[in-house]
Amino acid sequence: METDKDCIFCKIVAGDIPAEKVYEDEKVLGFKDLNPVAPFHALLIPKEHIATLRDLHPEHDGMMGGLMRAASEVAVKAGLDEGHRVVGNCLKAAGQEVYHIHLHVIGGRQLKWPPG
Ligand code: AMP
Ligand code: ZN
């Protein structure tokens, strides 16, 4: 499995940096975002280091399906009964800060559309 020793999310997967875990399976990890933008804000990441959503290949299809399903599971478990949002920022125009794929799971308040 690909990892990057300088990547903050790979360090979380390795257990070298603490995180408040909300989901884990063989290929996916979920944890609370350090700077929440809503009452509930978690990140779902592949355990494998993949820099951006544009670096996905067909071999990742199963993992990404699991990542999306895990996002729903986390939202339901968090009691976001009114709904939630799943967001993936890709590259700088979208504001991607951490170059290890992650989906934001955000909820617990009314969210505006379109996003800023
Ligand atoms: P993005 O702008 O989509 O790349 O989002 C990166 C997210 O990672 C931001 O919402 C940060 O608050 C979050 N983040 C950065 N470092 C950590 C960390 N050590 N633990 C939890 N969340 C983090
Ligand atoms: Zn990484």
Check if 19 has its Cβ closer than 6 Å to any atom of ligand 1: yes
Task: Please say if the pLDDT value at position 15 is more than 90.
Answer: yes
Q: What is the pTM of this model?
A: 0.97
Name the 3-class secondary structure at 114.
Answer: coil
Look at residue 1 and tell me whether its pLDDT is greater than 90.
Answer: no
Q: In the structure, what pLDDT confidence band is assigned to residue 91 with cuts at 50, 70 and 90?
A: very high
Residue 102 domain-assigned (yes or no): yes
CATH code for the domain of 79: 3.30.428.10
Residue 36 lies in a domain: yes
Please report the pLDDT score of residue 116 as a whole number: 82
User: DSSP secondary structure string, 16-61?
Assistant: SS---EEEE-SSEEEEE-SS-SSSEEEEEEESS---SGGG--GGGH
User: Is 102 annotated in the active site?
Assistant: yes
Phi-psi region of 32 (alpha: psi -120 to 50; beta: other; left: phi over 0): beta
Residue 2, in any domain of the structure: no
Whole-number Å distance, alpha carbon 82 to ligand 2 midpoint, is 32
Residue 3 resides in a domain: no
Average pLDDT, the chain: 97
- Domain with 60, as residue range(s), is 8-107
Would residue 1 count as lying in a domain? no
Report the distance separating Cα 39 and Cα 4, nearest Å.
31
Residue 97 pLDDT more than 90? yes
Pocket test for ligand 1, best of 97, 99, 106 (most atoms within 8 A of CB): 97
In a domain, 21, yes or no: yes
Closest CA to 32 of 91, 97, 116, 106: 106
pLDDT in tens, 29-85: 999 999 999 999 999 999 999 999 999 999 999 999 999 999 999 999 999 999 999
